[in-house]
Amino acid sequence: MRRRVLTSILLVIAATVVALGVPLAIVSWRLVDDLMHQELAGRLQSMEASITVRSEETSQINLSRLEVAIPEGGRLVVREKGLVDRAIGAEPSLDMYSETVALPGGGELVLSVPMDKLRAERWRALLLVGAAVLLSVLVATTIALVLARRLATPLSDVARRAARLGSGDFRTVRRRYGIAELDRVADVLDSSATDIAALLSRERDLAGDISHQLRTRLTGLRLRLEEIALSPDPTVVAEVQAALDQTDRLVTVVDDLLTNARSQRAAGATELDLSAELDDLASEWAPRVAAVGRSLKVACPADLSVRVTSVRLREALGALIENAVQHGAGVVRINVRPGPTSTVIEVSDEGAGVPAALVGHIFERGMSTASSTGLGLGLARALIEADGGRLELRRASPPVFGIFLAAENRADPAGSAPVVELPGARGQRDSSTSADTGTSSSGKTHRR
């Protein structure tokens, strides 16, 4: 995009240079001729006036008095009626530029200068025009680069935001660009992200409610059928058994539909080295956590892989850590617990946690105990669920959030659990902290 914008602007500059530079060069060339003509004509007129004054005193023209008016390398020829031509100055040459003026009473003065002088003046004028054009091109190119960057960077940023929205990243961005059209697009993207996230949340809630209601009713129906199956009538027992088979099939269908929906959501997830990802995340958040006098400790078994999208996991964990920093207290801990089929990433802090009244609503959009927007946890959950995982509040106080992800392979339980500490953390390994809490989510996202 930037290259196309820059190329377009440079083409306009080139067209402008051709349209204006060439005529300007021609005009400058002719202007030098006119100036030379005017200069020689002015000198001749001065000479003619001097000769007229002298002629009143004497009929003889004194050439030595005219020599000071002859330009360097020039030649003056005096032609008087009835007299031999007289000349003063440089030797005559075929390559000379001349100007003539008539004398009173007949005769003329011819002043000539070498063409080399005229050519030098012409080329000097062309060089000045070329320098002006080059300077204009350099200035215009600089402006073009700035303008191309100013146009292309926001467009690229908007394109990336649109791509993130398509991949399930529903975060809103406050950045605006000072360009009305692009700001409008950014506003629409933010509004769309919020609407889509809310729509998906409602659909997930609806699917969960339907699944729960179906399972509850099917369980009740099965219990009643099993009671009827105790009837001594073999015909009744046979019909009841057929009904039980249909009930089992319906339960299987519901389970398959839910499993298929989860697998489709997780289709974009890939195998990710969790320990390396958490190392990078800890390095990224080190200055921010240390700036508020807090510390972050990460405990993760080596060589542990999960199925998740890197960007979504980093954003979800970032939202949890940010809320823990803003609203929590003490050390922010990230502890990883591998399991046979899933891995739990616990984020916790030592703050007061989530008020009891908000525990059941903490992941709802707009729910907040502070002056924030209440979007952090809702977005974090949407990002994790987009890869088929889930985000839960495992303990309200002190707060512990758990991110459940599908495991690619189980790390050796006896393996080391390296701890990454941010500046300000106490130098101690922290694999036991999440053992008693079973957690660790960037606490306080509950307050966003």
pLDDT, tens digit, 9 for 90 and up, residues 120-174: 888 888 888 888 888 888 888 888 888 777 777 787 888 887 877 776 666 677 7
Are 221 and 354 found together in one domain? no
Same domain, 249 and 301: no
Whether 416 is covered by a domain: the verdict is yes
Q: Does the bond joining 398 to the residue before it have cis omega, within 30 degrees of 0?
A: yes
Across the chain, mean pLDDT equals 77
Are 324 and 207 in the same domain? no
State which of 212, 235, 266 marks the end of a domain.
266
Q: Is residue 107 part of a domain?
A: no
- Residue 155 resides in a domain: no
Cα-Cα-Cα-Cα torsion 204, 209, 215, 220, nearest 10 degrees, comes to: 180
Please say which residue of 47, 70, 93 terminates a domain.
Answer: 70
- The count of structural domains within the chain is 3
What pTM value is reported for the model? 0.45
Give a yes or no: residue 147 inside a domain.
no
In a domain, 150, yes or no: no
DSSP codes, 354-385: --GGGGGGTTSTT--SSSS-S-HHHHHHHHHH
Among 70, 89, 105, the domain-final residue is 70
Q: Do 62 and 189 belong together in one domain?
A: no
Task: For residue 140, tell me if it sits in a domain.
Answer: no
Please check whether residues 235 and 359 belong to one and the same domain. no
Same-domain check for residues 291 and 372: yes
Which tens digits make up the pLDDT trace of 243-296? 888 888 888 887 777 666 666 555 567 788 898 999 989 988 878 899 989 999
The answer to whether position 184 is within a domain reads yes
| Per-residue pLDDT at 264 | 59
Question: What is the structure's pLDDT at 409?
Answer: 53
Say whether both 280 and 410 belong to one domain.
yes
pLDDT of residue 441: 36
pLDDT of the residue at 145: 82
Instruction: Tell me which residue range forms the domain holding 260.
Output: 180-266
Give the contacts of 361 (CB within 8 A, at least 6 positions apart).
Answer: 367
Same domain, 341 and 438: yes
- Same domain (yes/no): 189, 293: no
Same domain, 297 and 231: no
Q: Hey, which residues does 335 pair with through a beta bridge? A: 299, 346
What phi, psi does 335 have (nearest 5°)? -120, 135
The b/e string for 174-210 (b: 16+ C-beta within 10 A; e otherwise) is: eeebeeeebeebbeebbeebbeebbebbeeeeeeeee
Low-confidence ranges of the chain (pLDDT < 70): 1-2, 52-62, 167-171, 258-268, 365-375, 408-448
Strands (E), 281-413: 296-299, 305-308, 332-338, 342-348, 390-395, 400-409
Q: Are residues 249 and 280 in the same domain?
A: no
DSSP annotation string for 178-213: S-HHHHHHHHHHHHHHHHHHHHHHHHHHHHHHHHHH
pLDDT at residue 346 in the model: 93
Please indicate, yes or no, if residue 294 is contained in any of the structural domains.
yes
